[in-house]
């Protein structure tokens, strides 16, 4: 094969190679030889790899919680950044923790001032020495099952919210980590004792906690709490106790449901359902919430409800111990002094003793 011919073939092969190379370089968007790092023009990426999206556009889209397509079953994994998470953290560590802390502090200060001004509410007629059974064994068991589990839940929950600021500086990081770990376990499992407790309370006491006429007199006379010698008539539970009962039951049901939904992450959707119900009343709330959005709203509501219930129970514990003479016996031995019972639950005493009640008593008035 003549020299010329070989030279033609070589040149053709070289040109072919060059064309192939230029074609490949073009595909990759960079002429390797000419320009190793293509400058961005106006933030636009070199070539057309990302189409018209600039890095900052891409970042902004991702930052807003854009949900990309993923082949995983859990489509949530298509969300690179869940920006509501920031809002959740800002609310939890901001207003929720701050106002919750002030609320707890204010409750204790108000009770301390009340105790200082009003003192312990005494049995005005003095203790008679005779007793009457107020709560039987089953009622007291139910109360202390609910009470003890609630107190563990409250303390371990408060630790999750405030432990880092209040406890860790005192006991150190390792001890705090261990305490929080076991506290979390206790929180998850003792919750079931609390659920059983409120269910039993509901069954045992719902009949005695329905609204009744004498509640109006009780409220009008401030429950006899503020002025010595004032004793509005009441049945087994007075209006104040009925409020505590329904906060414990209704708050207990809601805090249980939200707690379970935080434990069984993807299974329960408390807020989509609640918002759908509220929308029937004319609200316009989102009902297609992602599992993450659900859990963030649920966690916030769980914490808000817990803080409200803890405040109410602090007041309840005050009136059930220090605040009122003779009250604690009701839940300790189950026996209360007759004079105590007459001054605080006169209609209940009459019912228990099957004593005839005057028309005034029937109407919810005084003796
Ligand atoms: C150390 C803590 C507690 C003490 C000393 C205490 C004390 C008492 C006492 C003395 C009574 C009877 C009042 C009466 O004779 O009318 C009572 C009733 C009651 N307790 Fe407690 N309690 C405590 C914690 C709790 C907790 C944590 C809950 C619920 C989560 C709770 C829920 C109730 C309810 C619903 C009643 C009946 C309605 C009422 O009296 O308010 N208690 N408690």
Is residue 37 in some structural domain?
Answer: no
Is residue 53 in some structural domain?
Answer: no
Is residue 260 in some structural domain?
Answer: yes
Q: How far is the CA of 365 from the CAs of 215, 310, 317, in angstroms?
A: 10, 33, 28
- Number of domains composing the chain: 1
Closest ligand 1 atom to residue 328 Cα is 10
| pLDDT (tens digit per residue) in 147-178 | 999 999 999 999 999 999 999 999 999 999 99
| pLDDT (tens digit per residue) in 266-297 | 778 889 989 999 999 898 999 888 888 899 99
Does the CB atom of residue 235 touch ligand 1 within 6 A?
no
Judged against a pLDDT cut of 50, whether residue 32 lies above it is answered with no
Q: Tell me, what's the pLDDT at 17?
A: 66
Question: How many Å lie between the centroid of ligand 1 and the Cα of residue 316?
Answer: 6
**Confidence at 4, pLDDT banded by 50, 70, 90:** low
Q: Tell me, what's the pLDDT at 31?
A: 47
Is residue 57 in some structural domain?
Answer: no
Closest ligand 1 atom to residue 134 Cα is 15
Q: How far is the CA of 155 from the CAs of 180, 183, 186, 262, in angstroms?
A: 11, 8, 10, 18
d(CA 285, CA 307): 25
Q: Tell me, what's the pLDDT at 60?
A: 83
Domain that residue 279 falls in: 146-363
d(CA 220, CA 364): 12
**Confidence at 261, pLDDT banded by 50, 70, 90:** very high
326 contact partners, CB below 8 Å, separation of at least 6: 123, 127, 336, 337, 340
Q: Which pair of structure tokens corresponds to residue 300?
A: 């916030």
For ligand 1, atom 3: residue with the closest CA: 317
| pLDDT (tens digit per residue) in 212-247 | 999 999 999 999 999 889 999 999 999 999 999 999
Q: Among 143, 156, 310, 347, name the best residue to mutate to test ligand 1's pocket (greatest count of ligand atoms within 8 A of Cβ).
A: 143
| pLDDT (tens digit per residue) in 78-92 | 888 877 888 899 999
Integer Rg of the chain from CA = 35
Is residue 262 in some structural domain?
Answer: yes
**Confidence at 250, pLDDT banded by 50, 70, 90:** very high
Is residue 78 in some structural domain?
Answer: no
Q: Tell me, what's the pLDDT at 25?
A: 55
Query: What are the residues facing 67 on neighbouring strands?
Result: 79
Averaged pLDDT score across all residues of the chain? 87
The CATH number given to whatever domain includes residue 162 is 1.20.950.20
Q: Tell me, what's the pLDDT at 52?
A: 60
Closest ligand 1 atom to residue 154 Cα is 27
> SS3 breakdown of the chain: % helix, strand, coil, rounded to 5?
65, 5, 30
User: Of the candidates 312, 323, 105, which has an alpha carbon nearest to the alpha carbon of residue 226?
Assistant: 323
User: Of the candidates 210, 205, 204, 214, which has an alpha carbon nearest to the alpha carbon of residue 347?
Assistant: 214
Q: Which pair of structure tokens corresponds to residue 208?
A: 């005695």
Q: What percent of the chain has pLDDT over 70?
A: 84
Name the E strands within 218-345: 335-337
Higher-pLDDT residue of 34, 172: 172
Q: Tell me, what's the pLDDT at 170?
A: 95
On whether the CB atoms of residues 155 and 187 are closer than 8 A, the answer is no
Is residue 51 in some structural domain?
Answer: no
Return the minimum-mean-pLDDT range out of 68-72, 114-118, 142-146.
Answer: 68-72
How confident is the model over 66-87, as a mean pLDDT? 81
User: Of the candidates 259, 284, 283, 281, which has an alpha carbon nearest to the alpha carbon of residue 270?
Assistant: 259
Is the Cα dihedral 42, 48, 53, 59 positive or negative? negative
| pLDDT (tens digit per residue) in 92-109 | 999 999 999 999 999 999
Judged against a pLDDT cut of 50, whether residue 318 lies above it is answered with yes
d(CA 171, CA 185): 20
Is residue 134 in some structural domain?
Answer: no
């Amino acid at each position: 094969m003549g020299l010329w011919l070989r030279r033609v073939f070589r040149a053709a092969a070289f040109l072919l190679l060059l064309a192939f190379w230029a074609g490949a370089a073009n595909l990759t968007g960079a002429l390797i030889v000419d320009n190793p790092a293509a400058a961005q023009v106006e933030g636009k990426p070199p070539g057309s790899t990302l189409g018209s999206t600039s890095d900052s556009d891409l970042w902004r889209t991702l930052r807003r919680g854009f949900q990309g397509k993923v082949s995983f079953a859990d489509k949530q994994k298509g969300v690179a950044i869940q920006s509501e998470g920031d809002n959740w953290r800002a609310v939890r560590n901001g207003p929720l923790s701050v106002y919750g802390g002030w609320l707890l502090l204010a409750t204790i200060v108000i009770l301390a001032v009340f105790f200082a001004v009003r003192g312990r509410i005494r049995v005005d007629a003095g203790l008679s020495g005779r007793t009457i059974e107020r709560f039987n064994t089953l009622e007291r068991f139910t109360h202390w099952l609910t009470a003890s589990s609630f107190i563990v839940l409250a303390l371990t929950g408060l630790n999750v919210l405030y432990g880092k600021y209040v406890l860790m500086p005192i006991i150190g990081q390792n001890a705090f980590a261990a305490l929080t770990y076991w506290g979390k376990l206790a929180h998850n499992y003792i919750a079931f004792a609390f659920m059983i407790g409120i269910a039993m309370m509901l069954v045992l006491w719902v009949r005695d906690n329905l609204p009744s006429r004498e509640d109006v007199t009780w409220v009008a006379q401030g429950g006899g709490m503020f002025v010595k010698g004032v004793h509005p008539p009441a049945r087994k539970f007075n209006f104040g106790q009925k409020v505590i009962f329904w906060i414990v039951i209704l708050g207990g049901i809601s805090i249980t449901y939200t707690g379970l939904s935080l434990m069984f992450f993807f299974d329960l959707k408390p807020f989509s359902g609640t918002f759908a119900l509220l929308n029937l009343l004319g609200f316009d709330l989102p009902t297609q919430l992602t599992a993450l959005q659900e859990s963030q709203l649920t966690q916030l509501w769980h914490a808000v409800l817990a803080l409200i219930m803890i405040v109410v129970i602090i007041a309840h514990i005050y009136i059930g111990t220090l605040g009122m003479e003779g009250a604690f016996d009701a839940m300790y031995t189950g026996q209360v002094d007759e004079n105590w019972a007459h001054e605080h639950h006169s209609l209940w005493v009459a019912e228990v003793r099957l004593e005839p009640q005057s028309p005034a008593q029937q109407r919810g008035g005084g003796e």
